[in-house]
Amino acid sequence: MTNESAQQAGGRSSTDVLKQREFVQIFDTTLRDGLQVEGVSATVEDKLRVAEQLDHLGVSYIEGGWPGANPKDIEFFARAATELTLATATLVAFGSTRRPKGKVDDDPTLHNLIEAGTSAVCIVAKSWDYHVLNALNTTLDEGEAMIADSVEFLVGHGRRVLVDAEHFFDGYKHNQEFAIRALEAAVVKGASHLVLCDTNGGSLPHEVGSIVAEVKAHFRNDVTIAIHCHDDTGCAVANAMAAVASGARQIQGCMNGLGERTGNTNLTTVIPNLELKMGYRCLPPGNLVRLTAVSHHIAEVLNRPMNPQAPYVGTGAFAHKAGLHVSAIVRAKDAYEHIDPVAVGNGTRFIVSEMAGRATINMKAEELGLDMDGAAVGHVIDELKRLEHEGYHFEAADASLELLMRRSAGWTHDYFTVESMRVITDELPSGAFNCEATVKVWVGDERYIDVAEGNGPVNAIDTAMRSVLIRHFPQLTKVHLTDYKVRILDGTSATGATTRVLLEATNGDRSWTTIGVSPNIIEASWQALAESLVFGLLHTPGEPHSSARQ
């Protein structure tokens, strides 16, 4: 079976829909609604970097924040105006309609929206009668007037105005007449988009599909319908696609499914669904391959670990574990993967674990360019079983796996040998802590003793080791640790339990992870650190200066 025939097999109706290639705008709200997720906070600098990434991906709109509600957001729009050059995206400031019984001219929210200086603005408007009557404590007529006045004011200031109809689906189910009246008020005054929000996130695809179709039939082509979902039923992506099938032409959502509670519509999922499976266009041609890199980059900027299970962009999205399938997958990837992972900038990965068969280890050896005979492969499998039983987990530690495989193939490193080490941690009279490590190390025939301070025991050992090794291996200046993760393996007896340490390092060109396991956290850390240094020396170009001290 060729790639082409499998693609056809996998997408029965793809030929009909591909003919359309209609455009669906992507409106990213990672920097506004996305930051409502628990546990994420972003500096203005972070937000500027995320905006650059979103533009690099090629979304149509970037909602940057709510100027006024958050002091950082005023600064964001000021800096964005001078520092960002966006190729594709339009920056949007978010706000709300004017206050009940207030006037547009002296409304602080509307004032801040204008001050933000964006060509487009998005304002939240109440379309569920209950919220107008009980949250705003005003009449339905005043609720309608708040929308009409605010849109008129903003359009009068030359802004493109998107109206975000909060709680729209619940409101429509409860009082359809008022929900439509709220939308009409916006359209009459020149809103460009009606954003139908499932604010509480409780809707299902069949409801969203039928209500959007009714709204679309009502407004025809007077306005663009946008859909804004939350994932409280696990259906945000399906809801957004149902809306598009019913005539919506803008999807609002967040990268990596960020957002309050269960998250907004995950753009990293819905974009490839629309482009690869539904026959729509969302990004500039050729940009879809940037999806995985942009997704990971944003996760890093926001200091939020990627979900390995994330569709399309997760490290596990095209990972194959079951040993017996590996050889079949290699023969015909398109019969085992729903899309070519390269289309979204991801790749096929074979996971090595205690369940690995010989085929998996052979694949991995080929990937690493190692020449391994049958005995060496058998040794790797035995070692994996033994070590994973002790608590090691090589799926997460690519560099330690590679070193294990190299050792099984007969390789040993001769970069250094540690004779002993000691770390003293003291509380100083100031109340601060001090850590000091002493290491005794052999490099070739030379014995070194060195001491270093650090901000913790592991850092102190790392610093002391480097001060020795760097004399022989100057390329180590390029290598540094980027993350340090500790897990207690037996949660029920934490203080006496086994500790697993994962260390991430980089040399600027590539990153790697090593693992250490021990009841003693320092020993586990040192195992991971030693492997990290060895891996760094093995893979960082630079002639070993073994005679540097001679």
Stretch that binds a second copy, among 20-28, 97-105, 150-158, 491-499 (CB under 8 A): 491-499
- Name the residue nearer to a second copy (CB basis): 68 or 152: 68
Stretch that binds a second copy, among 4-12, 147-155, 362-370, 533-541 (CB under 8 A): 4-12
- Name the residue nearer to a second copy (CB basis): 58 or 259: 259
Q: Using CB under 8 A, which residues numbered 431 to 450 contact a second copy?
A: 432-435
CB 66 within 8 A of CB 95: yes
Distance CA 269, CA 236 (A): 10
Neighbouring residues of 539: CB distance < 8 A, sequence distance ≥ 6: 507, 510, 512
- Answer yes or no whether residue 491 interacts with a second copy by CB under 8 A: yes
- Answer yes or no whether residue 483 interacts with a second copy by CB under 8 A: yes
Stretch that binds a second copy, among 86-94, 110-118, 488-496, 536-544 (CB under 8 A): 488-496
* Pairing verdict, β 193-197 and 160-166: parallel
- Name the residue nearer to a second copy (CB basis): 58 or 311: 311
Report the nearest approach of a second copy to the CB of residue 347 (Å).
Answer: 13
Q: Using CB under 8 A, which residues numbered 17 to 36 contact a second copy?
A: 36
- Answer yes or no whether residue 485 interacts with a second copy by CB under 8 A: yes
Q: Which residue has the tokens 């705008």?
A: 25
- Answer yes or no whether residue 260 interacts with a second copy by CB under 8 A: yes
State which amino acid sits at residue 79.
R
Measured at the alpha carbon of residue 44, what is the angle toward residues 42 and 49, in degrees to the nearest 5?
A: 85
Neighbouring residues of 372: CB distance < 8 A, sequence distance ≥ 6: 361, 362, 365, 380, 405, 408, 409
Neighbouring residues of 390: CB distance < 8 A, sequence distance ≥ 6: 498, 517
> x/- contact string, 334-353, with a second copy (CB under 8 A)?
-xxxxx-----------x-x
- Answer yes or no whether residue 2 interacts with a second copy by CB under 8 A: no
Neighbouring residues of 393: CB distance < 8 A, sequence distance ≥ 6: 500, 515
Measured at the alpha carbon of residue 317, what is the angle toward residues 38 and 28, in degrees to the nearest 5?
A: 45
> x/- contact string, 153-192, with a second copy (CB under 8 A)?
--------------x--x--xx------------------
- Name the residue nearer to a second copy (CB basis): 152 or 166: 166
- Name the residue nearer to a second copy (CB basis): 456 or 542: 456
- Answer yes or no whether residue 430 interacts with a second copy by CB under 8 A: no
Distance CA 27, CA 251 (A): 6
H or E stretch at 132: helix 129-134
> x/- contact string, 377-396, with a second copy (CB under 8 A)?
-----------x----x-xx
Distance CA 235, CA 206 (A): 11
Each residue of 491-513: b (16+ CB within 10 Å) or e? eeeeeeebbbbbbbbbbeeeebb
Q: Using CB under 8 A, which residues numbered 197 to 256 contact a second copy?
A: 200-202, 204-207, 231-235, 237-239, 241-242, 245
Report the nearest approach of a second copy to the CB of residue 121 (Å).
Answer: 19
Stretch that binds a second copy, among 46-54, 145-153, 218-226, 516-524 (CB under 8 A): 516-524
Cα Dmax for the chain: 89
Report the nearest approach of a second copy to the CB of residue 87 (Å).
Answer: 26
Stretch that binds a second copy, among 155-163, 180-188, 306-314, 365-373 (CB under 8 A): 306-314
Report the nearest approach of a second copy to the CB of residue 326 (Å).
Answer: 12
DSSP type of residue 52: H
- Answer yes or no whether residue 41 interacts with a second copy by CB under 8 A: yes
- Answer yes or no whether residue 119 interacts with a second copy by CB under 8 A: no
- Name the residue nearer to a second copy (CB basis): 155 or 207: 207
Tell which one of 12, 285, 508, 547 touches a second copy (CB under 8 A): 12
- Name the residue nearer to a second copy (CB basis): 110 or 270: 270
Phi-psi label, residue 142: left if phi above 0, alpha if psi -120 to 50, beta otherwise:
alpha
- Name the residue nearer to a second copy (CB basis): 88 or 348: 348
State which amino acid sits at residue 504.
E
- Answer yes or no whether residue 412 interacts with a second copy by CB under 8 A: no
CB 30 within 8 A of CB 92: no
Residues β-bridged to residue 439? 421, 450
- Answer yes or no whether residue 310 interacts with a second copy by CB under 8 A: yes
